[in-house]
Structure 1
Amino acid sequence: MTDTSCREVVDAFYAAIAGKDAEAVTSVVTEHFADDVVLDLPASLPYGGRIEGVRRLVKIFAHAAGSTAAVGVQDLQLASLLGDGPQVAAHLTFTWFPAGAGASFGSSVLELWTFDAGRVISIEAFYQDTAALVAVAPS
């Protein structure tokens, strides 16, 4: 564990995701996330719900960062960061590309990161418009 601030961890994570750098994502997650970390996504989304454990998140985030498929979140931009532990809020903008046919559209999300002893213990996502994301999901 380094002396990296909570805000720097969040910033480094999104820089790695936006840069499609799976190795950097893996490094940030393994170094700064607690073993029992929880990611909560809106349950109404096709990929929503609770994801638990650093091993699962490493796989999910590294795959997303390394993927060349133009599906899901693309063009991720960190619009702003608020706070510096034990909670950091990240406002993100992105373009959503649905699987299969369908028009892409811009959206945003607010993610609340919670830290304990310098390690990420939870991330909770609040999407701007979950109904729009659900509407373009393949049935």
Structure 2
Amino acid sequence: MGWLPVLEAGPRPVYLKIVDALADARSGGRLQPGDRLPPQRELARLLGVDLTTVTRAFSEARRRNLIDATAGRGTFVTPGEPEEPVLDLSMNIPPAPAGLNLPALIRTGIEALLKRSSAEALLSYHPGPGSPAERAAGSSW
């Protein structure tokens, strides 16, 4: 069958666990440049995940220059150097850095926001072209 990732435990999204396993296999020599990866549907079935999860993992791995795919031929490990990942803003999923209490950070942020402005002002409609202060800031910028 070929390469089958072992996914680490933890709260990270599954697609990133697949990418991490791929990067680890590549850096550890278990996958070599030119090695063919299993088809996405087969990998999804073997891992017990949705096809879109594997598709997203392969897209991220391609973005990091870990793999390359050609329609009709398959997906292969690239010979180039992997690139460092950037902050992924494609989904509304908060990052899960170790040691941070996300609910407490959100609570603190909302409290600080409400100290500067009222909830009514934040939740109401704003003038289309912006407030006088916003237009002045835009004009000076």
Richer in strand (by share): 1
* Bigger Cα Rg: 2
State TM-score, norm by structure 1. Answer: 0.26
Higher relative contact order (CA 8 A, sep 6+): 1
More helix, by proportion: 2
TM-score by length of 2: 0.26
